[in-house]
Structure 1
C-alpha cells in the first residue's frame, strides 16, 4: 500500500520544499494539498468538522504554486490536490495550471476535485450554490477539450472554448471512460461523502473516489463498484484513495482487505519540527 500525506500548508508552517524533500527521503509516496482562496469571516456555513473553523483554512497556500515548488525539488514524489474547488475557477486558466504542473513534474499529478462546503466562499467567486455540481462537470469537460491532442471546441452551460492550440498537454496518457471515449488529463479523483450523485459523477468522468476520513468504506465501496461497472467502466480501473486519515495498523489493514492500494495520512498544520516528528511516527506504516 502506498502511503501519501496531506497538510494545510500555510505562511506559518513547514515550507513546501522542505516537506517534499523529507517525504521523498523517507519513502512516502505523495503529497496532497487542499485549496481555499479565502474564508469570509461573516458566514452562515458551519465548519465541516463542527465548532470553530481552524485558522489554517484562511491561510492556505495556493496548491498549484506549492506543488510546483515540491515538484522542483523531488524526482519520484507524487503530487496531488485534495481538493481543487473546480467551480470557483475559470476553467481555461485552471486547465493551464494543471497541465503545467503535470508537465513540469513528469506526469506526477493527481487532480483531486470536489464541490466545496463554504457557501460564502463560493458566492464570492460567482457560484450559485445549487449549480456547483453541474458547474464542476461542465468545467472538467471544457478542460479536457483543451487537453485533447488535437484542437477541440467545447460549449456547455457554464463555459465554452473555441478549438485552440493549448500546450503543454498533461503527460499522463488517456484512459477510457468507454470504448472510443477517452479521458484526457491527469488522474482525477472526486472527493465527497458517499451517495448516488457522487458515485454517478465518479463513474461518469473520473478515475476514482477520494473519501474524506475513510469511514464506512465496507458498505460504500461495493456500492461504488456496482455503479462503476453499470456505467461500463472496467472494474480494475476504479481507484479508491482514503484521504486525511488518522492511521492505525488495524485501519490500514482493513483498507488493504478492501483492495485499496493508496491512503493519504493527515499531517498537522505546523512548523517543521512537529511535522517531521509526525513523519517519523508515520514511517511505521511504510
Structure 2
C-alpha cells in the first residue's frame, strides 16, 4: 500500500510547486487535489462535516491547473483530482485537460470525479440537481470515448456530439484510472457500471468493508481503491491495507509553507514507522 497527500491548495497556503516537490522528496506517492469552483454566499446546503463551511472550500485553486504545475516539477508522484465535480464541467474540455496532464506528466494522472453536495454551487453551472447523477454517468462515458476513440462521438440525453477529433490522447492505455467519489448505493453502481475505482472518505472500517464487498460482488473488474483525507492513525492504515487499498492519501491541513513542510516531515516519519 502506498501513501500520498490529499489537500486543498489555497491562495494563502504553501505554493503548489513547493508542495509537489516536497511530497516527492519525502518518498510519498501522490498528490490529490479537491475542487470547488466557487461557493455561493447565500446557501442552504449543509456542510457534510457539520458546522460552518471552512474558507478553504471557496479559496481552493483549480485542480487541473494545480496538478499541471505539479507535473512540471516532479517525475514520479501520481496526480489525482479528488474529486473533480464533473456535474459542473464540460466533458470535452475536461477530457482534454486530463489527457494534457497525463501527457505532461508521462502517464501519472488519475481522474477522480463526483456529483458534489453543494446544490447552490452546481445550480450556478446550470445543472439540475434532480438529474445530476444521470448527467455524471453520461459525462464519464463521453470522456472515456474521447480518450480512446478517433474520431469520437457520443449521443446521450445530456451529452451529444457528432464525430470529432480530440488530442492529445492520454499516455496511459486504455486510459487513466477513473475514481468515483461518494458513499451510496448509487456510488456502488457507478463503480461497477463505469469499470472504475473508488475514492473514499475516512469512514469507519466496518462501513468501508460493507461498501467494498458490494462493489466486488457486482464488478467484473479489479476495483482500485484510494482515499481522500485519511488521518494519521497506524491502526486505521492497517485496516485499509487489509481491505485492499492500493493508495492512502493522508489529509494535509491547508497551512502556510513552513507548517506544511513540518507536517510532511512528520507524515513521512509515520509512514516509515508503519513500514517498519
TM-score calculated relative to the size of structure 2: 0.94
Output the CA distance in 2 between the equivalents of 1:219 and 1:172.
31
Distance in 2 separating the partners of 1:158 and 1:130:
13
Is the partner of 1:99 in helix, strand or coil?
Answer: helix
CA RMSD in angstroms comes to: 1.1
Moved more, 136-145 or 265-274: 136-145
Residue 211 of structure 2 is aligned to residue 226 of structure 1: no
**Which residue of structure 2 lines up, in the alignment, with residue 137 of structure 1?**
137
Q: Which secondary structure does the structure 1 equivalent of 2:113 belong to?
A: strand
Residue 242 of structure 2 is aligned to residue 257 of structure 1: yes
2:188 is matched with: 199
Q: Does the Cα contact within 8 Å between 1:190 and 1:206 map onto a contact in 2?
A: no
Deviation at 1:48, TM superposition (A): 1.2
Alignment partner, residue 169 of structure 2: 169
Counterpart Cα distance in 2 of 1:255 and 1:153: 39
- Which residue of the other structure, out of 258, 262, 271, is the alignment partner of 1:277? 262
Indicate the SS of the match to 1:241.
Answer: strand
Instruction: Measure, in 2, the Cα distance between the counterparts of 1:260 and 1:85.
Output: 23
Cα displacement (A) at 1:149: 3.6
Deviation at 1:145, TM superposition (A): 2.0
Per the alignment, residue 61 of structure 1 pairs with: 61
1:142 touches 1:161 (CA, 8 Å); kept in 2?
Answer: no
TM-score (norm: length of structure 1): 0.91
- Cα offsets for 1:196-248 (capped at 9, x unmatched): 211111011142111112422233222221121xxxx13xx211213211121
Could you say if the C-alpha distance between residues 279 and 221 of structure 1 is closer, same or farther in structure 2, counting changes exceeding 3 Å? Answer: same
Residue pair 1:214, 1:245 contacting (<8 A) in 2 also: no
**CA distance in structure 2 between the aligned counterparts of 1:281 and 1:251, rounded to whole angstroms:** 17
* Aligned length in residues: 269
Structure 1 runs of 4+ with >3 Å offset? none
- Tell me what 1:182 maps to: none
Q: How does 1:1-286 map to 2 (within 5 A)?
A: 1-174=1-174, 185-193=175-183, 195-215=184-204, 216-228=207-219, 233-234=220-221, 237-283=222-268, 284-286=270-272
- Structure 2 runs not aligned, ≥5 long: none
Q: Which whole-Å CA distance do the structure 2 matches of 1:116 and 1:275 have between them? A: 27
Please give the alpha-carbon distance, in whole angstroms, between the structure 1 residues aligned to 2:244 and 2:91.
Answer: 34
Unaligned runs of 5+ in 1: 175-184
Distance 1:242 1:150 in 2: 33
* CA shift digits 1:148-203 (9 cap, x unpaired): 242121111112122112110011111xxxxxxxxxx310000111x321111101
Cα displacement string for residues 56-94 of structure 1 (whole angstroms, at most 9, x for unaligned residues)? 101010010110100000000110000000010111111
Deviations 1:121-144 (A, max 9, x none): 000000000111111111112222
